[in-house]
Structure 1
């Protein structure tokens, strides 16, 4: 990602270089910088860029994006949708700022430029792929836990016999929160009546056995003792939030399209056939590259 960011930072510079009439009309090169020890001309800067790997990558990016922009449309709404998802996952302003810094983006606008480019390439790699409403609905039903949040409370104990005793107390009508405060070895949540807050079905942080058991419960339903590496849990779901299909339909469509996407290199090689080289300095920049073969061990 950082390589792309550096490319974005000097797009305007390369555009100035490759579009300069002095490079194609035979006119004298314009002086850009003058010092007591000599000058730097546009031709000097041009040669420096075209001779470096970073410069070649930049030229490729300019040309490929020009072709893709002619073939596809990317709306501001599409960019905003992806940006909003990133912000939601980041949590708050500080989390988003940390994300930008960690990924090497200087600011939100630079991230938006990157998102826009990824959408162009996504459309190119999935061009011709069809996803039906039935496929989307089937995926939603098969992966419903990913779009569901459950607010859970638990009582954690070391022995199964203790868990069963607590289970019997609950059946008699004893308050779950009071039992959590009295018996739970998880003192942090126990003090709060066992409340763990909302858990997502797609969470990678929770114990999978615990999460699977919690997701099966209806609101106000209590589980049997559930064994994990931490001990024995009795789980109660106090609320369920299910995201409707209509809200995640576009997201699922992209997921299914992505599964059928063509390799990026295949798309680039296809684009290479649409490029006419006018300057010998660029002749090696747009050579087709064979897809990498898996290494034999």
Structure 2
């Protein structure tokens, strides 16, 4: 079969080919590490990989990625665009990497690349119309909008109402923030929090929803969150036009109609030729059903 993939050829990437040859030919396996207590050979490494769950996962990953890389193309531009999207949504990027278990940006990019290959496999043939893209954009405009926000945070609702009345009389928002806000960091800046977007994940959702509803120059009524009562003011509002996020929305909609990953794995399994019995168990749980 033209596109069948030999698992044995894949495993040679781990320098396990020598181990396979040693086992089948009866020759002594090459020593990889020497100690005065004993040596580690390619046979030892081979047995460890083929018998452990982690080893089986590694075999699966190598095989499936080999097939997907032949079938689809993932460009550096696509990877970097997805990385930029993650950075925009993550807030503190280094903290995001740590929470997600990535040692560095390079490791995340490799994960993104692999995810994109599976995305292309699961969405192959999926169709999304311009109307669907337009409708999604209109229904989720907050995701593509940034608002520069200031706030005054206080402990009591009655205090928040008094501040709101002061603002109606024309009192300067920044001056009131400096004098009365319990958020001392933003108070020093006249209550300024910088730009927020509907994608912001580090903010209280009630606060974010209230801020996104305000027009430029508009001030909210008291908004209650776990931190207290906020008076929110939007000082600027920027909407990203549809043409700049059309491809991003298309990817989102295609993801909603993607085939199950298991279905793709079952299909890929038909293109795998297992030439070494030791590797058969690695695909036992993901075989065609």
1:53 alignment counterpart: 53
- Residue 270 in structure 1 maps to residue 267 in structure 2: yes
**Residue 249 in structure 1 maps to residue 265 in structure 2:** no
After TM superposition, give the deviation of residue 205 of structure 1 in Å: 4.0
Shift of 1:224: 3.6
Match of 1:140 among 137, 144, 151: 137
- 1:285 corresponds in structure 2 to 282
TM-score, normalising length: structure 1: 0.75
1:288 and 1:56 mapped to 2: Cα distance?
A: 10
- 8 Å contact kept, 1:22–1:29: no
Supply the distance in 2 between the matched residues of 1:82 and 1:220 (Cα, whole angstroms): 33
Deviates more, 1:103-112 or 1:124-133: 103-112
After the TM superposition, which of the residue ranges 256-265 and 180-189 deviates more from structure 2? 180-189
Most deviating of 136-145 and 247-256: 247-256
Unaligned 5+ runs, structure 1: 1-10, 292-297
The 1:19/1:141 distance shift into structure 2, 3 A limit, reads farther
Say whether the 8 Å CA contact 2:153–2:181 is kept in structure 1: yes
Report the alpha carbon displacement of residue 165 of structure 1 after superposing the two structures with TM: 4.7
Higher RCO, Cα 8 Å, sep 6+: 2
Shift of 1:23: 6.3
Q: Tell me the equivalent position of 1:31.
A: 30
Instruction: Report matched runs for 1:64-79 at 5 Å.
Output: 64-79=64-79
Which has the higher mean CA deviation after the structures are superposed, 262-271 or 273-282? Answer: 273-282
**Kept in 2: contact 1:29–1:41 (CA 8 A):** no
Task: Determine the structure 2 residue equivalent to 1:22.
Answer: 21
Q: Tell me which moved more, 22-31 or 269-278.
A: 22-31
Q: Among 202, 211, 214, which residue is 2:211 paired with?
A: 214
Number of matched pairs = 278
> Do the aligned partners of residues 209 and 24 (structure 1) sit closer, same or farther apart at CA in structure 2, a change above 3 Å counting?
closer
CA contact (8 A) 2:152 2:191 kept: yes
- 1:295 aligned partner: none
Report the CA distance between 1:162 and its aligned residue: 5.1
With over 3 angstroms needed to count, the CA separation of the structure-2 counterparts of 1:77 and 1:156, relative to structure 1, is closer
* Distance 1:121-1:19 versus aligned 2 partners, 3 A rule: farther
Residues 94-135 of structure 1: per-residue CA shift (max 9 Å, x gap): x43x55555444544333322221111111122222222221
Task: Report the 3-state secondary structure (helix = DSSP H, G, I; strand = E; otherwise coil) of the residue aligned with 1:73.
Answer: coil
Residues 244, 47 of structure 1: CA spacing in aligned structure 2 closer, same or farther, 3 A cutoff?
A: same
Segments of structure 2 that go 5 or more residues without pairing to the other structure are: 1-9
Structure 1 CA distance for aligned equivalents of residues 271 and 202 of structure 2? 47
Shift of residue 79, structure 1, vs aligned partner = 1.6
Change (3 A) 1:44 1:91: same
1:197 and 2:224 are equivalent in the alignment: no
Query: How far is 1:38 from its partner?
Result: 7.5
The CA RMSD measured in Å over matched residues stands at 3.6
**Which has the larger displacement, 220-229 or 119-128?**
220-229
Partner deviation per Cα, 1:182-207 (whole Å, 9 max, x = no partner)? 45455554443333332222334444
